[in-house]
């Protein structure tokens, strides 16, 4: 129960931070989109952390910093895809 709440809150927080860093001028992003960007960013950050540390191509959730970095990447790709 607490794990699910933690994942939701961390995903929303990471998505919000990513929005501040990437898509400041876009106010039309919903909390659902930011939540998905944060949760997906956690796995992207975990993958990047594994590749940088030499652990190979293993996908798993990341901590706060990795989640925010991954959410920035996911949101940047998402906003670039929506513009076209």
* pLDDT at site 23: 72
Question: What pLDDT shows up at residue 25?
Answer: 67
Query: Mean pLDDT, to the nearest integer, of 5-21?
Result: 90
Q: Which domain holds residue 32?
A: 2-83
Mean pLDDT of the chain: 86
Give me the DSSP letters along 34-70.
Answer: HHHHHHHHHHHHHHHHHHHHT--S------HHHHHHH
- Return the pLDDT at 26: 65
Provide the number of structural domains found in the chain: 1
């Amino acid at each position: 129960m607490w794990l699910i709440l933690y994942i939701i809150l961390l995903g929303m927080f990471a998505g919000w931070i990513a929005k501040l860093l990437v898509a400041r001028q876009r106010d039309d992003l919903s909390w659902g989109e930011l939540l998905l960007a944060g949760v997906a960013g956690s796995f992207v950050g975990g993958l990047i952390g594994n590749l940088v540390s030499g652990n190979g191509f293993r996908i798993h959730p990341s901590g706060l910093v990795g989640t925010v970095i991954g959410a920035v990447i996911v949101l940047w790709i998402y906003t670039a895809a929506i513009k076209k």
